[in-house]
A = this chain, B = another copy of it.
Amino acid sequence: MTKKAIIAAILALGCATTNAQEKLFNRPNVESPVINNDGTVTFNLYAPKAVKVEVSGDFTNAPAPLTEGENGVWSFTTGKLEPELYRYTFNIDGLSDVKDPANIYVNRDITSYTNIFIISSAKGDKGDLYRVNEVPHGNLAKVWYDSPTLKMQRRMTVYTPAGYDKGKSYPVMYLLHGAGGDENAWSELGRAAQILDNLIAQGKAKPMIVVMPNGNTNCQAAPGEWSKGMYQPSFRGSGDKPLASMEESFMDIVNYIESHYKVAKGKQNRAICGLSMGGGHSFMTSKLYPSTFGYIGLFSAAIHVNGEGNDTYAKFQKDTKTQNQLANLFAAKPNLYYIAIGKTDFLYEQNAGLRHFLDDKGYKYEYIETEGGHIWRNWRIYLTDFAQRVFK
């Protein structure tokens, strides 16, 4: 279309679509959030009838009050924020979790939608790894595969790195989500494609395929993406009893990937890692198939042999099956056994118990301890770190 035709179409479309019209003509043109040059962020909300407006987010301990300015626009400016991906919503007159109408960028974490924004610094900080930079991009596909073990079609997300069409074969990282998540979690909340694109472009990670399956073995796919319809998500997937566990059905995934993609075989070309429940799945799967995965990453892992408080080590000492499986796994000499957790994570003691047991047996592992708890900020950090340690 010519420019003139485009402008004519815009004007005509403006008259035809009520929502667009409302946005364009009935409200002040509010920009929000505004990332200021000094590293502070200003939120603006048009709410002329509101009495009280606050912003809640992971950059403020308590909801911060906005103040009303001209034309019914409320505003709040943060202090200087570090490079990071941040989440927020508004609270308006007692109504919580209201999305910012000026910001189309949102994330879903189980049942909660929040707006997001990224602070980047162009110094290679975290925020820079999470944003889309002018680098070659990998492709992200929603792929259906057949699971003979679970007797269903299942959906997963597959990242293939830039240049995949020209390359010969690639190592594979299996990247697993936590309870309440699904095959969309790591690519959306975890920014996995952006992290891999950026690390590969910087030469810090090897080009690799990243496979993000659905860890709820009673579901075919994320909510709304399979025949169960548009149900409300929960921590228990569909709530149905699954035919088998993630570890029991895991080779269905590996077999599909290795027969449909250009895959470098052998354990030195396979990594398995995950967060929380997905860390538990990585723990269970790696010891069930002790010669299959060369790189194992437990991020804030909810491991199988869990106890209350400090009794985890005692449970490991009593669990002969787990002991034997771990003995087989470490006899096969994994290239890397990696444990990462935050200091205030509610699974800290459980992971400390596992470490105590591994120390006891003389099994080698790498341990990373960060600030903070059981949150996506930490999982993005662990993925960024782990991705640079594998296949080298």
Tell me the A residues contacting B by CB distance below 8 Å.
Answer: 1-2, 5-6, 8-10, 12-17, 19-20, 22-23, 31, 47-50, 92-99, 101-106, 108-114, 116-118, 131-134, 136-144, 153, 155, 162, 165, 178-180, 223-227, 229-230, 232-233, 235-236, 245-246, 260, 276-277, 280-281, 284, 302, 304, 306, 345-347, 373-374
Q: Establish whether residues A276 and B9, one from each chain, have CB atoms under 8 Å apart when the complex forms.
A: yes
Q: Which 3 A-B pairs have the closest CB atoms?
A: A141-B141, A49-B94, A19-B112
Q: Establish whether residues B245 and A179, one from each chain, have CB atoms under 8 Å apart when the complex forms.
A: no
Indicate the member of A10, A22, A245 with the most B CB atoms within 10 Å: A10
Identical chains bound together, number: 2
Query: Within the assembled complex, what's the spacing in Å between the Cα atoms of A19 and B302?
Result: 20
With a cutoff of 8 Å between Cβ atoms, the chain B residues found around residue A93 in the complex are 49-50, 93
Query: Within the assembled complex, what's the spacing in Å between the Cα atoms of A233 and B131?
Result: 17
Among the listed B20, B95, B114, B230, which residue makes an inter-chain contact with A110, where contact means beta carbons less than 8 Å apart?
Answer: B20
Select from chain B the residue with minimum beta-carbon distance to A10: B235
Q: Establish whether residues B109 and A19, one from each chain, have CB atoms under 8 Å apart when the complex forms.
A: yes
CB distance from A322 to the nearest CB of B (A): 12
Q: Establish whether residues A111 and B20, one from each chain, have CB atoms under 8 Å apart when the complex forms.
A: yes
Q: Establish whether residues B104 and A13, one from each chain, have CB atoms under 8 Å apart when the complex forms.
A: no
Q: Establish whether residues B1 and A277, one from each chain, have CB atoms under 8 Å apart when the complex forms.
A: yes
* 23 A–B contacts from the bound complex (CB under 8 Å): A5-B304, A6-B179, A6-B235, A9-B302, A13-B179, A13-B180, A17-B374, A19-B110, A31-B232, A48-B94, A49-B93, A50-B93, A103-B230, A104-B223, A105-B224, A105-B230, A116-B230, A131-B229, A136-B153, A137-B155, A139-B142, A139-B144, A144-B162
With a cutoff of 8 Å between Cβ atoms, the chain B residues found around residue A236 in the complex are 6, 10
With a cutoff of 8 Å between Cβ atoms, the chain B residues found around residue A8 in the complex are 302, 306
With a cutoff of 8 Å between Cβ atoms, the chain B residues found around residue A47 in the complex are 94-95
Select from chain B the residue with minimum beta-carbon distance to A230: B105
With a cutoff of 8 Å between Cβ atoms, the chain B residues found around residue A48 in the complex are 94
Query: Within the assembled complex, what's the spacing in Å between the Cα atoms of A137 and B260?
Result: 16
Q: Establish whether residues A1 and B374, one from each chain, have CB atoms under 8 Å apart when the complex forms.
A: no
Select from chain B the residue with minimum beta-carbon distance to A146: B136
Among the listed B23, B136, B230, B346, which residue makes an inter-chain contact with A16, where contact means beta carbons less than 8 Å apart?
Answer: B346
Select from chain B the residue with minimum beta-carbon distance to A277: B9
CB distance from A100 to the nearest CB of B (A): 10
With a cutoff of 8 Å between Cβ atoms, the chain B residues found around residue A137 in the complex are 144, 153, 155
With a cutoff of 8 Å between Cβ atoms, the chain B residues found around residue A110 in the complex are 17, 19-20
Task: Given A20-B111, A134-B227, decide whether A141 and B142 contact each other with a Cβ distance below 8 A.
Answer: yes
With a cutoff of 8 Å between Cβ atoms, the chain B residues found around residue A116 in the complex are 230
Select from chain B the residue with minimum beta-carbon distance to A116: B230
Query: Within the assembled complex, what's the spacing in Å between the Cα atoms of A140 and B221?
Result: 13
Select from chain B the residue with minimum beta-carbon distance to A223: B104
With a cutoff of 8 Å between Cβ atoms, the chain B residues found around residue A109 in the complex are 17, 19-20
Indicate the member of A49, A104, A162 with the most B CB atoms within 10 Å: A104
CB distance from A229 to the nearest CB of B (A): 7
CB distance from A134 to the nearest CB of B (A): 4
Query: Within the assembled complex, what's the spacing in Å between the Cα atoms of A23 and B277?
Result: 21
Select from chain B the residue with minimum beta-carbon distance to A99: B99
Task: Given A112-B20, A142-B140, A232-B31, decide whether A5 and B302 contact each other with a Cβ distance below 8 A.
Answer: yes
Select from chain B the residue with minimum beta-carbon distance to A89: B19
Query: Within the assembled complex, what's the spacing in Å between the Cα atoms of A204 and B22?
Result: 40
